[in-house]
Chains A and B, each alone.
Chain A
Amino acid sequence: MKVNEKIAIEHGLKKEEFDKINKLLKRLPNITELGIFSAMWNEHCSYKSSRLHLKKMHTKGKRVIQGPGENAGVIDIDDEDAIVFKIESHNHPSFIEPYQGAATGVGGIMRDVFTMGARPIANINSIHFGSPQHKKTKNLLRGVVHGIGGYGNCIGVPTIAGQTCFDESYNGNILVNAMTLGLVNKNKIFYSKAAGIGKPVIYVGSKTGRDGIHGASMASAIFDEKIEEKKPTVQVGDPFTEKLLLEACLELMSDKSIISIQDMGAAGLTSSSVEMASKGKLGIELNLNKVPCREEKMTPYEIMLSESQERMLIVLENGKEEKAKKIFDKWNLDFAIIGKTTDSKKIEIFYDEKKVVDIPINFLAENAPIYDRKWKKTKLPQKIKFNVDDVKKLKITEVLKKILANPNISDKEWVWQQYDHTVMGDTIQKPGGDSGVVRVHGTNKAVATSVDSSAMYCCAHPLTGGKQIVCENWRNLISVGAKPIAITNCLNFGNPEKEINMGEFVECVQGIAEASKYLDYPVVSGNVSFYNETKDKGIKPTPSIGGVGLIKNYKKMVTMDLKEVNNLVIVVGKTEGHLDQSIFARNILSEKNGPPPEINLFNEKNNGETILKLIEEGLIESAHDVSLGGIITALTKMCIRGKKGIKLNKLKTLINKFQYFFAEDQGRYIIEINKNNIKKVKEILNNNSVHYDELAIVIEKDIIIDKEPILTIDELMIANKKWLKEYMVQ
């Protein structure tokens, strides 16, 4: 088949891009070469719209061993230990086929982590669905949850945290972001950079089939009503094979046989071979007749673009082939020497003894297009003047019950009970708290992790929203007593060719960069998912931030459940009464405009570090950050978890009580303190100039707010727990 412009456009390339390919090659590419270019130059692999802006990210820090650009980021957690972690999106495939889409998302991110020599120790995820009333939502939710569980449970890696959100902007584009943390000895990290000439290139894992051909291009396309036809481009996961691949790779990694290793993810054999060669400034030669194939008569085009799962590409030291093969034989996995590294700086591919591909590596990598796309700034919306009379008619207790039952606040036990969260025997904080926490096996250390997004805030004002998520994520780690170390981000946005969407991206990135720099909370890995758009309707800008923190002595970990009657409860951080964009404003007052709460990075850092100090001194019994739904929502969640009641003090504030209880001002925490420690705690807060209000006292089982009717914990628990369970069985 002779390649022409029409075929190139069908491959997702623009006319100008096709012209550029012809110019670089000084000839027309053949169909296999065109396939390779289209895979390497699409948004998903090339980051062509985002790369310019991603450079602004803060990526360095004392504990950063490896920042962005590798399979995953790596941070130092003292001694010989390091944590490898990354988050990745699998949005498009999950919408088309929720079970397999989500499952292979989890499989893919785990491979990114164990490719670097790390044993995965925790999975977490952030999933966003359309309005609960939308006809597709329930099945998508069920499918995605089954898929995440189906894969992670089988591999035997605990899923310890996550978030599940609903908003109509995801009706036609759900988000499935999966993150994995792995533990590695910091002197035994493996990288994807190839080195040395004439080294054998090894293919291991599953056989190559016709599944997922052009998955990466699909992930960079906009959806329309024909999307169901794309089902064959969704890969099918096999967690059992991945488990074997994990064990086999770690076994091979126990000595020095491997020079470089790369998993075959998006764009399969194409991107893995090109990336290895590109990073090592080498050439690579492949013989496709040697590739283990599942189906007969696969063409070079299909072999190079297949996204069959559970495959790895390895560059081995010469002479280690036999030993490596033995390991893969033991685990019953395919092992084939399919090529070698060369000094040609080209990718040269042979099939049936004919050369079918001959492309200089730099055409595919460095020469890939970069776009400085036009973008539009979002103005800070005007503050809303809330009508005091409207608010006065409401009862706090009634509003509270409604908020607790809101799909975005309600308890997500139905979701996480389907994930094995205790396998590996080190989970010391399960899903449902501020962060999931696992011990570092065999040590006194633990790592905490949380993933967060705030699409409402990001949509109202992307710059503030970007900062806010980083801060919220940081607070979630602080709340369990972990020192936040670094983050990974998954940037889910609409169509970058539209100025408004591109603007949302640019400003969210700027916000993330500012906050992460100020908090010394660097970005070490991540991915970008554009074109989350169906029939011209894009999603709200939804960057999700996955953070990792270190607890030096896991016995000092804090949880959010209230512990003991007569303890005092304090709000740390100032409550100004910011209601705009809050759950209260949006869902109770139906006011969807206004700016998100302001971020004060100085206070954020100071409050957070002071809380850590208090935890370090053993002065805090329980802690929870204040986020969606404000103080009263956060406090009731602590009550529900601890099965304890609370009596609120009379408010000593100038703002009205709705503002006080439901405002979503940032930088705040609720902490429970034993009476004997109160003096010491106040001293530390005062010495660090941290604002605090004495809020309440822990009692047996009622919630007593001012003159409002008394609520029981059971009532609130039902309000909080029943929505999702009932929704799923309706």
Chain B
Amino acid sequence: MSHAAPVLRVDALRVAYAHEHGAVRAVDDVSFTLRPHERFGLAGESGSGKSTMALAILRMIKPPGRIEGGEVWLQDTPLSQLAPEAIRRLRLAGIAMVPQGSMNSLNPVVRIRDQIGDALADHGTKLPRRELAARVRDLLVDVGLPPETADKYPHELSGGMKQRACIAIAICLRPKVIIADEPTSALDVVVQRQVMETLGRVQAELGAAVILVGHDMGLMAQFVDRLGIMYAGRLVEVAPIRDIITAPRHPYTRLLIESLPSLEKKGGLRGIPGLAPLLRDLPPGCAFHPRCPNAEARCRTEKPAVRPIGPDATVACHFA
């Protein structure tokens, strides 16, 4: 494992939403580091807080949500200390996001070339027409799109092409961190492979780090280096992907891996009994204890702290 200084460091981040019955903690004391060139996965089911986490890193939480505490460092810069204008400039140039649902994030009445141009101009890079065209062409080639895509409108592109156009916008300022929030969930399996291959290639060329937020464990297994599992707003396990698959420590991770349908042979379909808790109605102690096969008295009263169990791994369980 490289011991270079982390490019992103999240430290005890807490995000809460105001709700009529009290504050709802969507991200509860989450810490992790991201090394340069690393691919980090953030997996969790709906209501786990992973998308809120991604927005919080970009400081895009809107009221009634609020970052309650903790810090996010981009290299040496603590993001909470920056003025709003500085944060705005950091987005796309320092940390870029490829959002879910490409159809919704591209302006339907603006050509692709101009969307990239707008992104560049917004960050002070106003290029003369010919230079912009060349820059756009290079970006499109980087993401594997034909050059004529520059003149097209979003509705003329397929889902996969649109998503790759979003990747092009995300990398146009050569960011150090790319956050991809479910970038392929709306896409077909074959197209998904194309888009992820593009993302991986682009990331390697830029030397950037990637945070892949999603719920498809197969995708995580094939793409990321380290994986963090979120449950009820907490990071219950972080480990190299190999270890997560072969020797998961947290019971939720273990049950999750076991519940995935395999293509190798037919077996029983095994889900995790019970339901994921609503964030506004968390059980006391460990949030997973009602569904945990190993739960004991201690789990019902005491919230397990996040413990390091290796150079790059942590787990939040009393018995792991």
- Do A and B associate with each other? no
